Amino acid sequence: MIPLRDKNPSSTFPFVTILLIVLNVLAFLYELALGPELERFMYAFGIVPRLFLSGLAAHPLSPAVWIPVFSSMFLHGGFLHLVGNMLFLWIFGDNVEDRLGHFKYLIFYFAAGLAAAGAHVLMNAQSQMPSIGASGAIAGVMGAYILLYPFARVQTLIFFFIFIQVVDIPAIFFLGIWFLLQFFSGTLSLGASTYQGGGVAWWAHIGGFLVGAAAVLLIGLRRRPAWRE
């Protein structure tokens, strides 16, 4: 399933969501310009669980330990990785920004990304591979969206063998299925070796989503009725 758009207009201009997308695109263009230095850059500014934990134990307040946690949120492993993440951010981010307000939304975004990184590190403590991508923070946005707008319609491209169809799916089903896929995939990944790590950071998605939903409950925001065409 690929989301195309949601039928849920926001009442304010999504300055922060657009800024985040622009920063992610600029960071990716910088990656492309690095050439053979890209791998070293990823290890320096992606979050490597084993290195992070050892650094945290030795120097818990050192900026060098924490910078990769935030810089990793703007790095991507390829064009499709970037486009997929930015598509989800664009579709679901504007409405969450509208409800939280621009500044609170920015804080929320980074808090979700931090929680996602923490979940990934805890579940892959021995991994020596850098984890990159905005998907953990964006999962937090999706976790907030499912509670705030559960019945908003998401126009979705569905592939079923040779059949392709565009259908409207309530957000609670689209995002619920997405979360279940992350959870089952993350659970299955527990049986694999975590020393080298790599692949999809399933637990970052799970952690970000749950923290995003929990934040909405803690703040006390109420869901809004679905907008109708």
CA distances from 131 to 19, 82, 121, 201 (A): 22, 14, 9, 7
Global pTM value:
0.91
Alpha-carbon gap, residue 193 to 57, rounded angstroms: 23
| Confidence band, pLDDT 50/70/90 cuts, at residue 226 | low
Segment 34-83, tens digit of pLDDT: 999 999 999 999 999 999 999 999 999 999 999 999 999 999 999 999 99
The answer, yes or no, to whether residue 195 has pLDDT greater than 70, is no
Residue 1 has a pLDDT of 85
| Confidence band, pLDDT 50/70/90 cuts, at residue 225 | low
Percent of the chain having pLDDT more than 70?
A: 92
Sheet strand arrangement including 153-160:
2-6, 153-160, 163-170
Look up residue 44 and give its two tokens: 């320096």
Q: What is the mean pLDDT of residues 202-215?
A: 95
| Confidence band, pLDDT 50/70/90 cuts, at residue 179 | very high
Q: Determine the 3-state secondary structure of 130 from DSSP.
A: coil
User: If phi over 0 gives left and psi between -120 and 50 gives alpha, with beta otherwise, what is residue 170?
Assistant: beta
Q: Determine the 3-state secondary structure of 229 from DSSP.
A: coil
What domains can you pick out in the chain, each with its CATH number? 2-219 (1.20.1540.10)
Comparing 25-29, 59-63, 83-87, 187-191, the range with the smallest average pLDDT is 187-191
What's the whole-number average pLDDT of the chain? 91
